[in-house]
Structures are given as structure tokens and as C-alpha cells.
Amino acid sequence: MIRNKTHHISCFKAKAKAENKAIFVDVFAVWCSPCSYMSKTVFTKNTVGHFFNSNFISVKIDAETEAGRMFASEYPIEAYPTVMFFDNNSQLLEKNKGLLNDVELLEKANLLLKNNPNLGGILSDFRKAKLPTEQMKLYLRTLIANGDSTNTEELFPIFWNKLTDKQKLEGDNFTLARHSVKSLDSPVFKDLFNKRSAYQQLFKYDSVDYLIGGLLEREFIKYWRAKTEEQSPSQAQLFEKINKYRKNSTDYYRAKYEYFEASFKEDETATRIARKNFNDNHEQDVYQLTNEAWAVASSYGKYDSFENGLAWVDKSLKIQYTPGAGTTKAWILYQLGQKKQAKELAQEAIQKAGDNQSLINFTKWMILEYK
């Protein structure tokens, strides 16, 4: 939730200047339904609250109070809600009239900070690599638990590049990497892949292979999203990555590809045959189903993608319980607002994780956020 104050902006100019932070202003009216929606639904999102509390001085102004009328005399308001961004010298940077959802609001705020790199705040200092590594780690952990994949993907390489080779082999840092890397093309992934045997020795199982499974699912989803948007993705490049990183899963992806292809062409007979082949031969792999769940849920960051991810992880858990699937379901339920059940599932996953310290660490981090 955004921690804001209901005052005139002048009360916060000195604070913004001292902290070198931008000012975020929400101008509302008590009778305004879209204003109420943003206050109750958008500003209360964990991702939104964490981002704004870390990087902005936030002010909430009731337009029909004396403070509101004073503010409007200096900055005219044409509609409600209106959100405004000021720099640390109180110069207006951007003004938006009307309703914004959480994704739109975060995109605007992110872009504004990128375009004004001299502004302070944790995000700005992180981008300049000015933060100590422990503070970076804490910030990344919170981003991951709150489902902020955009900022996680951007910031993690900055943190990774500050680490020594010895620090990169530490369990906590590998856990962060596993949940921050979103592409097989990432330089961080290539570093992890080169250290694969060292991680396997450290964790007593092929932890990098588990990461590869999730990233290949993302590649597969990205390919079909591009195809449905009438782009021309390369099938050859997709299977080149599959053969390079997971050759023993080629048959799985080939069957899945044939099913998707038949569905894409709206060929009911071919779809039915391909779907049966995929189900009969490949939909009993609990680890592959869990990878699918995580990839689907984290690819879009919207309610329906979390619902779809939940369906996949429930298939996995129906076949066999694994701590990884339990943690995945806990994270998805948390994103859907079912926090009590999420915490219970996360605690169960920790109890059953054995010596999988990477999974235990990540699940504990999530529990810290499940207030």
C-alpha cells in the first residue's frame, strides 16, 4: 500500500529536496468512483506500494478541501482522479487525468525515473550500483515476492555484476538468480550455466537444470504469443535452444508444439489427436507441469495468467506433491489475494523441502512478505 499523507504539496517540498526524491500526488474527490477504485484497488497492491514507498514522497489531496483548492489554483485540475509527478525541486514532470490500473501506473512511474536519473530513491541508486550488495539483495527479494518481474529482470544483473565468483556460489545469491533470470539469452543465465557443475555439487541436485526447464517454458510461451500476434517467430531458433539446453525434453516440446499448432490452425480433428498424444506421453511429468505453471503465471502478471498458472500447478500436485509445486502454488495464491492459504502452503513446502536450501530460502522470503 502506498503510504501517503493528505496535505498540501508544499509540506513535502523540503523533504523531497532533502531526500532527492520525486513527489507523487493523487488528486481525488470523495464522490469520484474511479478515485475510490484507485485508492482501494490500485494503491493497495503490494507491487505498487513497495515501488512508490521506496522511490517517491507520496501526497494525497482532496480537491474539495481548502488545501485542494489552493493546489488547484497553482496546478489546474480538469478531471478526477488526476495523478501528478514532480521532481525534487517541485517542477511538474507529468500529469495524467483519469483512471490508471496498477500496470499503467507503474509503467509511467518507471519511465519517469528512467528519464530523470538524477532523482534519488532506492531504484535510482540501485541503477547506479550505489547500494551495498546486502541492500540490493533485500530490495530484489521484495520485488520477487511482490511479483514485480519487470524491475527484477532489469536490476538483477547490476547486483550480480557486483558479486565475486565466490559470492555467486552462495545459496542465497543463487536463489535470487533462479527467480530473477527470465531469458536463456541473459548474460546472468550463461554465467549460471557455466557454473552448473559447481551448483550441482553445492545443492546435491541439478538446480540449473530446474531453472532451464522454467526458462524453456517461457520461451515456448513467448513464441506462441508472437505467433498469435501475427509476428514471425523462428521455430528453428526455439528448437535450437531446446536441443542445446534440454535435449532430453525435445519429444515433450515437439508434442506440445504439434498440439499448439493444431489449435492455432483451428483444426479440431488434429487438435484432438495432438492433445491426446501430449496427455498420454507427457502430462504426467510433475516437474514439467510445475515449470509450466511458474512460466505462465509470471509471464504476464495479470489475474487471468495467475489463474491459468494455478490450473497447471494443481495438475502437478494432483499427480504428486513436491515442495517446488507447493511453493509455486503459494506464490500464485498470494498474487491472487489468498494470503492465508498461501502462507500455509509455503510453510508446508519448507517442512517438506529436506536439504533443498535454495527452495527453503525463497519460500521463507515469501513468508516474510505474507503479512
Give the Cα separation of 87 and 90 in Å (integer): 5
pLDDT of residue 303: 53
Give the Cα separation of 33 and 302 in Å (integer): 22
pLDDT of residue 124: 80
Residue 323, strand partner residues = none
The residues near 232 (Cβ < 8 Å, ≥ 6 apart) are 226
The residues near 103 (Cβ < 8 Å, ≥ 6 apart) are 301, 302
Q: CA-based angle 214:218:224, to the nearest 5?
A: 145
Give the Cα separation of 284 and 320 in Å (integer): 9
CATH 3.30.70.870 at 5-117, yes or no: no
* Below-70 pLDDT ranges, the chain: 1-11, 120, 145-147, 204-206, 278-287, 295-296, 298-304, 358, 365-371
HEC profile of the chain: CCCCEECCCHHHHHHHHHHCCEEEEEEECCCCHHHHHHHHHHCCCHHHHHHHHHHEEEEEEECCCHHHHHHHHHCCCCCCCEEEEECCCCCEEEEEECCCCHHHHHHHHHHHHHHCCCCCCHHHHHHCCCCCHHHHHHHHHHHHHCCCHHHHHHHHHHHHHHCCHHHHCCHHHHHHHHCCCCCCCCHHHHHHHHCHHHHHHHHCCCHHHHHHHHHHHHHHHHHHHHHHCCCCCCHHHHHHHHHHHCHHHHHHHHHHHHHHHHHHCCCHHHHHHHHHHHHHHHCCCHHHHHHHHHHHHHHHCCHHHHHHHHHHHHHHHHHCCCHHHHHHHHHHHHHCCCHHHHHHHHHHHHHCCCCCHHHHHHHHHHHHHCC
List C-alpha distances in Å: 261 to 51, 228, 243: 40, 11, 20
What are the residue boundaries of the structural domains of the chain, listed by start? 5-117, 133-245, 286-369
CA nearest to 317, candidates 348, 340, 338, 343? 348
pLDDT of residue 367: 62
Give the Cα separation of 138 and 141 in Å (integer): 5
List C-alpha distances in Å: 126 to 1, 102, 130, 274, 355: 22, 22, 6, 47, 32
